[in-house]
Chains A and B, each alone.
Chain A
Amino acid sequence: MRHPGDGLLRRLLDEPDGVADSDRSHVDGCATCSSRLLAVSADAAEVESALRLDVDVDVDAAWASLVAAAGHESPRPVRQRRRLKRTPVIAVVGVLALLGGASAAAAGNWFQIFRTEQVTPITVPQADLVQLPELDEFGTMRVESRPRIRDVEDARTARETTGLASPRITNLPAGVTGQPRFLVGDKVLGVFTFDRAKAEKALGRPLPQPPAGLEATEFRLTAGPGLAAMWPSNSGAPALMIGRVVAPKGFSNGVPFDTARDYLLSLPGLPASLSGQLKAFTKEGGTLPLIVNANSETSFTTKVGKAPATVLSTEGGALSAVFWVEGGFINAVGGSLSTDEVLRVAREVRWAQ
C-alpha cells in the first residue's frame, strides 16, 4: 500500500475518525509513516504554542461597544480607511486578467468580449501583492482543461503536438550552450463566475450591488496551446527560454466586459493609481495586464519588429524577459540574461513550421 500523504497524517492528529480505517492501520504498522506522523505532530505542537493566546472577553461590554459603533459608523478612524484601501487589488487584476484571458469554445450564445492584442505591465507594490485575496475567493473557477506542461523529445514533436511553429536561433547569447529541451502545454479552458457572497467573505465587508446579471454570467477563458525551447544552466534554472502561446481571448454569455470591469473597479479599496491604470483597459484595446512587482522588478516598453513589446527585469538585472503579441500569439524570451540580450534574441528568433 502507498504511504498516505502529509495532509492525511495531519488529519489523523485532529480528527482520526475522518481518516479511513485502512489508512489508520497502515500508519500504525508502518515505521516510516509513524516517524512522519511524529514530525507532523511536532510541527503542529510548535505552531500551536507559537500562535496560542488565551483571551478573556467581556461579551456584554463588547456588544455595547458594537451597538455604539453601529450608530456612528460614518466617522470611522482615518487609519482604518487607509488600511482597507488595497484589499481587492489582486482580485480585480485577476478578474481583469481572466476577462482579458477568457475565451470560448465558439459555441451557442457565447460572444467574444476580449482578444489579447498587447500586454502591458501593471505595477503593484509588494505589500499589495502579499495581502490580496486570490481569484477563486471571488467566485468559482472551473478549469475544464489544463495545460499539462511536459517535455517532448524534440522540436518536431513540439510542433506536431501543438500545431505551432518552433523557435530557431543561430546566435546564442554568451554562456548559453548545447541543445534545448522542448516543452509543450495544451490549451487551457476555464470558466469563472463571480460570487458576491464569497467576495464579501474574502474581503470581510459588504460589497456594492453587482450589475444585473453579473453573478449569472459565465466568463470563459482559453489560452494556448503553447511551446517553449529551454536551455538549462548549470544550476538547472533556465539560462534561456523562448516560447509562444496562443494568446488568450475572452467570451461571456452575459454581461459585457466593460460592465464587469467598471463594477470591479468600483469595489471599495482600490488604490487610485492602480484603478487609473486598469480603467484604461478596453476590449477594443485587448490589453492583457502583466503583474509587475514594484519592489523587485522594473519594466519598459520597446518594439520587437513592428510589435509593441514589454521588457521586465528583476532588481539587479539577474533575470530578464520580453513579451510581445503578434499574429495571435504571445511570444516570450527570457532567462538569466541582460535586457539587451533578451531583446537581441527576440529580434533574431525565427519561427519554423
Chain B
Amino acid sequence: MPASVRSDLEHIFRAAYPRVVGVAARVLGSRDEAEDVAQETFLSFGRTNVPAGEAVGWLCAAAAHTALNHLRSGRRRVSREEAASDRVEVSPDVAEAVVTKDEHQRVRAALSRLPRKQAVALVLRHSGLSYAEVAAALDLSPASVGTTVRRAESALREELNRHASSR
C-alpha cells in the first residue's frame, strides 16, 4: 500500500467489505458491479481521515451514492441496449431469464428516480444499518429516518406498480 493510505485500512476493509458490497448490490442488482463499487469506495476511504468509529457509516453511504451514480450513468446505456434487444427475437428457453432481468431493471430504474436522500436512506436501512447509523450517515435526526425510509418505500412501490400496470 502507498504510504499515503491510512494504516487501519486493512482492518476496516476486512470487517466492513461484505457489508459495503451488500449496500452496492442492493442498488445495482449485480454482485460484480457491486464489488467494483466497493473497491472504488475503499480506495477513496483509504485517502481520508474519517475516524475509524465512523468508518462503516461513511463507507456504506459512499457506496450507496457511488452505486446510484453508476446506476444513473448506466441508464442511458441500458436504454440503448434495450432498444437494440427489441429488434432481436427472444427464444423461449431464455424467456425466464429475460423476465428476471426485466424485473431487476425496473427496480433499479425506479430506485434511480427517487430523491437522492430517500434512495440512500432506503438502501442503508435495508442493508441492516440501524436508525442511529442511517441518521449519522445522512445527517438526519433518528426520528426522521423512519419518515424518509417510509416515503422512499411508498414512492418505490408506486413506481413499481405504475410500471407493472402500464405493461
A106 proximity list for chain B (CB < 8 A): none
Q: Assuming A7-B148, A66-B42, A70-B2, is B156 touching A50 (CB within 8 A)?
A: yes
Tell whether B7 is near chain A: CB-to-CB under 8 Å.
no
Which of A43, A48, A55, A73 neighbours the largest number of chain B CB atoms within 10 Å of its CB?
A55
Q: Shortest beta-carbon distance, A327 to chain B, in Å?
A: 36
Could you tell me the distance between the alpha carbons of A33 and B136 in the complex, rounded to whole angstroms?
29
Cα-based distance from A58 to B23 in the complex (angstroms): 16
Residues in B with CB closer than 8 Å to A65 are 39
Contact B156 A83 (CB under 8 A): no
Choice from B40, B50, B126 contacting A197 with Cβ under 8 Å: B50
Min CB distance A281 to B, Å, is 25
B62 at the interface (CB under 8 A from A): yes
Give chain B residues whose Cβ lies under 8 Å from the Cβ of A202: 65
Q: How far is the CA of A65 from the CA of B36 in the complex (A)?
A: 10
Contact of B14 among A15, A63, A83, A206 (CB under 8 A): A63
Instruction: Say whether, besides A66-B13, A66-B42, A66-B43, A47 and B65 are in contact (CB < 8 Å).
Output: no
- Partner of A71 from the list B2, B41, B117, B137 (CB cut-off 8 Å) is B2
Instruction: Verify if A53 is at the interface (C-beta below 8 Å from B).
Output: yes
Contact between A57 and B18, CB atoms less than 8 A apart: yes
A11 to chain B, nearest CB (A): 4
In Å, the complex CA distance between A201 and B136 comes to 11
Contact A7 B116 (CB under 8 A): no
Query: Are A51 and B26 in contact, CB atoms less than 8 angstroms apart?
Result: yes
Q: Which of A91-142 contact B (CB under 8 A)?
A: 127, 130-134, 136-137
Determine how close the nearest CB of chain A comes to the CB of B104; give it in whole angstroms: 9
CB pair B25 A55 closer than 8 Å: yes
Assess whether B17 is in contact with A43, with CB atoms less than 8 Å apart: no
Chain B interface: which size bin? 35 or more
Say yes or no: A73 contacts B17, CB within 8 Å: no
CA distance A44 to B25 in the complex (A): 18
- Say yes or no: is A78 at the interface (Cβ < 8 Å to chain B): no
For chain B, residues 136 to 160, give those with C-beta under 8 angstroms from any C-beta of chain A: 137, 139, 142-154, 156-157, 160
Contacts A57-B21, A131-B72, A206-B47 given; indicate if A10 touches B39 (C-beta within 8 A): no
Residues on A with C-beta less than 8 A from B70 are 83
Interface string of B26-51 (1 = CB under 8 A from A): 10011100110011111110111010
A174 within 8 A of B: no
> Is A8 engaged at the interface, CB distance under 8 Å to the other chain?
yes
Closest to A47 in B: B153
List A223-266 residues whose CB lies under 8 Å from chain B.
Answer: none
Given A14-B131, A15-B130, A127-B73, do A55 and B34 touch, yes or no (CB 8 Å)?
A: yes
Residue pair A63, B65 in contact (C-beta under 8 Å): no
What is the bound-complex CA distance between A71 and B26, given in angstroms? 29
Whether a CB of chain A sits under 8 angstroms from the CB of B102 is: no
> Cβ of A80: which chain B residues have Cβ within 8 Å of it?
40
Given contacts A52-B26, A70-B46, contact A201 B76 (CB under 8 A): no
A130 close to B113 (CB less than 8 A): yes
Kindly identify, within residues 48 to 71 of chain B, every residue whose CB is under 8 Å from any CB belonging to chain A. 48, 50, 58, 61-63, 65-66, 68-70
Is the Cβ of A59 less than 8 Å from the Cβ of B31?
no
Residues of B within 8 A of A51 (CB): 26, 107, 111, 122-123, 126
**A62, CB-defined interface residue at 8 Å:** yes
Q: Quick check: is B98 within 8 A (CB to CB) of the other chain?
A: no
- In the complex, residue of chain A having the shortest beta-carbon distance to the beta carbon of B29: A53
| List of 6 A-B pairs having minimum Cβ-Cβ separation, nearest first | A7-B147, A7-B146, A204-B62, A11-B146, A10-B150, A10-B146
5 contacts between A and B (CB under 8 A): A59-B14, A62-B13, A80-B40, A132-B116, A204-B65
Interface set of B (CB-CB < 8 Å, partner A): 1-2, 5, 10, 13-14, 17-18, 21-22, 25-26, 29-31, 34-35, 38-44, 46-48, 50, 58, 61-63, 65-66, 68-70, 72-73, 75-76, 107, 111-113, 116-117, 122-123, 125-126, 130-131, 137, 139, 142-154, 156-157, 160
Q: A9-B146, A62-B21, A206-B44 are in contact. List 4 more A-B contacts (CB 8 A).
A: A10-B153, A40-B150, A62-B38, A134-B117
